[in-house]
A = this chain, B = another copy of it.
Amino acid sequence: MVQAMSLPRNEAGIKAALGILKQRFGDRLQTGQAVREQHGHTTTWIENQPPDAVVFPTSTQEVSEIIKTCAANGVPVIPYGTGTSLEGHVNAPAGGISVDVSQMNQILAVNAGDLDCIVQPGVTREDLNVHLRDQGLFFPIDPGANASLGGMAATRASGTNAVRYGTMKDNVIALEVVMADGEVIRTAQRAKKSSAGYDLTRLMVGSEGTLGLITEITLRLQGIPEAMSSARCSFETVDAACHAVMMTIQYGIPVARMELLDTMSVQAVNAYSKMDLPEAPLLLLEFHGSEASVAEQSAAFGEIAEECGGTGFEWTTNTEERNRLWKARHDYYWAALQFRPGATGFATDVCVPISRLAECVAGSNDMVAELDLTGMIVGHVGDGNFHTTLLVNMQDKAEIARAEDFVGRLNDLAISLDGTCTGEHGIGQGKRPYLQKELGPATRYMAAIKAALDPQGIMNPGKILTP
């Protein structure tokens, strides 16, 4: 494990708040070690820092009461959705109360005529999409994990089809938030656009629970497309694949998903899924639209692929065949883990302008080799966003140190290419030094905003900003 910084604990305050909350919430406040550890960070190599207790509110009013109690006693509040974040967002470095919103899981309204809905923060994206299906609607953001929508808003999540539908920043219309003093605000009305004052919605999206706790989310929805097509094509080099990506975007083909697997990823998938894909960089695509339009889009991409030296181009609208073409992507995570049995997989996330993508991917592969690591790449390349999955032997301290070194170097490279240290995973604990490197002077004003909205620093301390 990689150590996470600890912060000073307010023992007296924590004790007092626990007493009050225990009386108020009874069995809905839990302090057992297992539940506490489960609510610390569990997904990557960052050490687990459990909270002192976990409370399960069922309403905004209850969240407000909890935060007021914590504010009165100077106790940290750590918002918790499903715990699938990857940079230590739910750790409790100063102890405190984890507020698990999983019982706030109601879909409050679906306004089909406006293509929007209002949900509580514990609703997961899969639950929402099951609920919407009968109405011909869907919520497009897909970060992979079946995350809660509150957590997705808080971390500005995106994923495979952000290239077409945007990220959480583009799909949250309004929020209800309990602020650090326990007051409840709405950041916007339900109108599709607004110029009414500071954009508190976008300030809260991506604030990782450090400015308030999201208790209600108004989301944009999409109509389920009449048709979808999937396509697959291999390329001789990452450079050629990235060139095809760039041309696809430039030609305005409204591609819904566009994923890159590098050669090692393809090798891993071939081994795991008994496939015989050419051992070369692979692009997978998905198109949404009318029957005619997805055919036109697929064919247009085929021409671009050919121009870029692509081979084995296939496309289909048949659901079974679509799944076959995308199997490499669906199986990727498990294939990567199997590629080095006994190792643990860690995905690190950067995003660069598309014109710099090939350079950044090549740099990542070079650094993996130089540092004698095992690592492969999968990317949401339509956005210039990719993840290097490192397969690390967690018994080998020297290897862990080299892996940490790699993460630092990759982030430095991405920043030097006018990119960001995180396209979608967020800062949490893990990326704080890189945020400083990336935005330097701007972080001073982020800190001023944090101090203004949370003067005691009780909301998810130790995340985003270096104390």
A203-B202, A207-B198, A435-B196 known; A189 vs B225 contact (CB < 8 Å): no
Binds B, one of A72-80, A324-332, A347-355: A347-355
**Is A194's CB under 8 angstroms from B351's CB?**
yes
Contacts of A251 on B, CB cut-off 8 Å? 223
- Band of interface residues on A: 35 or more
Contacts of A246 on B, CB cut-off 8 Å? 113
**Is B191's CB under 8 angstroms from A419's CB?**
yes
**Chain B CB within 8 A of A310 CB:** no
Which residues 432-449 in A have Cβ within 8 Å of B in the complex?
A: 434-435, 438-439, 441-446, 448-449
Partner of A156, one of B179, B183, B190, B199: B199
Which residues 162-197 in A have Cβ within 8 Å of B in the complex?
A: 162, 166-167, 169-170, 179, 183-197
Docked complex Cα distance between A363 and B38 (Å):
54
Docked complex Cα distance between A112 and B246 (Å):
10
Contacts of A351 on B, CB cut-off 8 Å? 191-194
**Is B111's CB under 8 angstroms from A195's CB?**
no
**Is B354's CB under 8 angstroms from A423's CB?**
no
Partner of A195, one of B200, B352, B423: B423
Contacts of A190 on B, CB cut-off 8 Å? 353, 418-419
**Chain B CB within 8 A of A115 CB:** yes
**Chain B CB within 8 A of A384 CB:** yes
**Is A203's CB under 8 angstroms from B192's CB?**
no
Closest beta carbon of chain B to A147's beta carbon, Å: 13
**Chain B CB within 8 A of A426 CB:** yes
**Chain B CB within 8 A of A5 CB:** no
A202-B202, A353-B191 known; A196 vs B439 contact (CB < 8 Å): yes
**Chain B CB within 8 A of A34 CB:** no
Docked complex Cα distance between A113 and B247 (Å):
8
How does the 8 Å CB contact mask read for A77-103 relative to B, with 1 for contact and 0 for none?
000000000000000000000000000
Kindly report which residue of chain B lies nearest to residue A167, judged by CB atoms.
B193
**Chain B CB within 8 A of A410 CB:** no
**Is B194's CB under 8 angstroms from A420's CB?**
yes
**Chain B CB within 8 A of A425 CB:** yes
**Chain B CB within 8 A of A158 CB:** yes
Which residues 329-383 in A have Cβ within 8 Å of B in the complex?
A: 351-355, 383
**Is B446's CB under 8 angstroms from A198's CB?**
yes
Docked complex Cα distance between A352 and B189 (Å):
9
Closest beta carbon of chain B to A290's beta carbon, Å: 6
25 example contacts (A-B, Cβ-Cβ < 8 A) are as follows A113-B354, A115-B249, A156-B194, A169-B202, A179-B445, A183-B444, A185-B442, A187-B439, A188-B439, A191-B351, A191-B385, A192-B384, A193-B385, A194-B351, A195-B420, A196-B420, A196-B421, A196-B427, A196-B439, A197-B465, A202-B203, A254-B254, A290-B296, A292-B296, A448-B452
List 6 tightest A-B contacts by C-beta distance, closest first: A202-B202, A452-B452, A113-B355, A194-B420, A190-B418, A223-B252
